[in-house]
Chain A
Amino acid sequence: MKLGNDEIKKIGLGAMAVGGVTFVYFTFLLGPLQDGKKATQASIDATKPKIEAANAQIKKTAELEKTAPAASLTLKQLCALIPEGSPVAWFPTQVGDFFKREGIEKVTTVVVGDSPDKELAGFKRISWTIRAPRVEFPAFTQTIADFENEELLVEISSIRLESMRNDPEGQSVLLTVNNVVK
């Protein structure tokens, strides 16, 4: 079959029409739609991890909430050991009463200084000297043990136990202690 001039023209026109339609379709219809889809997919991909992270954070906090009360209870119990008011008002009395119960009289407690506690935010450390004019050595070991067990927030940083010249059975004691207070 041989195509005539007229037919060739018509085929050319048809091809041009197909090309035009294809161009319009891809450029003005499918192209923007695909771009929109890509943008939406990117947004979905960015949002999903955020949702997962938010859910994970909520779950993590809920789990922490279960364990936190037990941990903070210890702090509450230890804080309950600190009486209200200025430590200068209650600590010397507390120490005097303790040693009196142990049979040691005339104990004097003097404040040396205070500084913020580096390891515990919101707490400070007060240094005191505790002087007992006369103790008896074997019994005093037990007194020190009782003091260390009873006063959990007090640490003895220095101890000076000296024999008395006129009393061979007795010793004088000077303790330097650090007390954690609010």
Chain B
Amino acid sequence: MALKLNLHHEIDMRKALKKRDPLKFAAGGVIAIVAGFAIYYLIQFGEAHSMSQEFAVLEQQLKSLEPKAAAAKKHEDELNEAIKASQAMVKKVEGRFYWAPVIASIAAIVPREVQVTALIGDVDGGLLKRGSVTIEGIATGAEPRKTAEDLRKAVADCFAAKYRKVNASFKRLDESSEAAKLDGHALPTVDFAIQVSMETGEEPPPPPAPYIPRRSRT
């Protein structure tokens, strides 16, 4: 067996010790970490920069849009005001109470046994209109009271077909001393006044429910 002698064992040991120098490892580790940190920082910096640029673009865009939007809002308000005024005017014109059909209806239902001496009508209100019509006259016939009552019913039925909440009642129904001549016969007469009330137009919105505060439990 050959004998091997290593006369450089001390040099080899020093070399081996130098190879596994912790400071060297630590320095390498630090450099690697710093490089990683630097790369990560650069990526983050790039992102931050692109975000700043995006924000600058958006800010510029907003700066140019804001005056336009403010002007548009002002113009919109003006247009809405004009539209609202127009709608209110149209509503006013279309929501008027028309008297011609009222007079025509009364003229159509008054029988030949009745002479109307006065017709008084009033209407009041905005969109919801409340009206009243008073028909005064003289009724004749074999039973003049029945003639007047038939007219009252006819008026009530006729108005109920066109208006809401129609109520027709006699304000006055008195015997008259005067006699009327109809078809050559002298007939008794009655003086009457029929008052008709009605509603037309838009119904007002229902009132809000009253606020009832909750009682706390004791």
Contacts and interface: CB of A to CB of B under 8 A. Distances in A.
A21 interface: yes
Contacts of B2: none
Given A18-B30, A33-B45, A153 B58 contact: no
Report, as a range, how many residues of chain A touch the other chain: 35 or more
B54 A153 contact: no
Contacts of A138: 107
A89 interface: no
Contacts of A50: 62, 66
Contacts of A47: 55, 58-59, 62
Interface stretch (B6-14, B122-130, B152-160, B173-181): B122-130
Given A48-B58, A75-B89, A78-B89, A57 B72 contact: yes
A27 interface: no
Contacts of B162: none
A88 interface: no
A44 to B, nearest CB: 5
Contacts of B86: 71-75
10 tightest A-B contacts by CB? A14-B26, A145-B100, A54-B69, A75-B86, A61-B72, A10-B23, A54-B65, A161-B119, A68-B79, A159-B121
Interface of A: 1, 3, 7, 10-11, 13-15, 17-18, 21-22, 25, 29-30, 33-34, 36-37, 40-41, 43-44, 47-48, 50-51, 53-55, 57-58, 60-62, 64-65, 68, 71-75, 78, 118-122, 137-138, 140-142, 144-145, 148, 152-153, 155-163, 180
